[in-house]
């Protein structure tokens, strides 16, 4: 999360209401033609993760915005079947057991918008670990 008062740049992703409650949505803030981050929402709580499995760096969903398992209680990697806790990103089943998804810094502003945040020294906003 962004620390108030620190120099940072931000990029609007969407309104919180645009991420379905109990669901997930991917975003392409780097304009690469593929999602590089995704949000998972539970009520007013949202988590933002890099769209890369820690096992081999593959994208997570099997189709657009399909980041969760059928029960909707875990993030799933379609390539390897790994399961991750939504709140911590911890892999609890699969080939990357014990590894974590990479969190992406963001803020939820007073207007209910999700903003991707990067330190002012990072120009442009980058997703750590992502390659062009």
Structure tokens at 55: 């096992």
pLDDT at position 6 over 90: no
* pLDDT tops 50 at residue 108: yes
Strand ordering across the sheet containing 91-93: 75-76, 83-84, 91-93
Helix (H, G, I), strand (E, B) or coil at 22: coil
Q: What is the pLDDT of residue 129?
A: 42
Q: What is the pTM of this model?
A: 0.83
pLDDT, tens digit, 9 for 90 and up, residues 56-72 = 889 999 999 999 999 99
Query: Is the confidence at residue 33, as pLDDT, over 80?
Result: yes
- Residues 6 or more apart whose Cβ sits within 8 Å of residue 70: none
Topology of 19-105 in CATH?
Answer: Rieske Iron-sulfur Protein (2.102.10)
Q: Do 89 and 101 meet the contact criterion of CB atoms below 8 Å apart?
A: yes
Give dist(CA 106, CA 17) in Å, integer.
16
Question: Where does the pLDDT of residue 120 fall: very low under 50, low under 70, confident under 90, or very high at 90 and above?
Answer: very low
């Amino acid at each position: 999360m962004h620390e108030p008062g620190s120099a940072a740049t931000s990029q609007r992703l969407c309104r919180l209401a645009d991420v379905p409650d109990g669901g997930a949505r991917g975003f392409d803030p780097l304009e690469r033609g593929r999602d590089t981050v995704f949000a998972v929402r539970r009520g007013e709580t949202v988590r933002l993760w890099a769209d890369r499995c820690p096992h081999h760096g593959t994208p997570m969903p099997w189709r657009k915005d399909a980041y969760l398992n059928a029960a909707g209680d875990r993030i799933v990697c379609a390539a390897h079947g790994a399961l991750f806790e939504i709140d911590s990103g911890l892999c609890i089943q699969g080939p990357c057991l014990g590894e974590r998804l990479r969190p992406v810094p963001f803020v939820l502003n007073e207007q209910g918008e999700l903003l991707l945040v990067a330190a002012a020294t990072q120009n442009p906003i980058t997703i750590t670990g992502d390659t062009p």
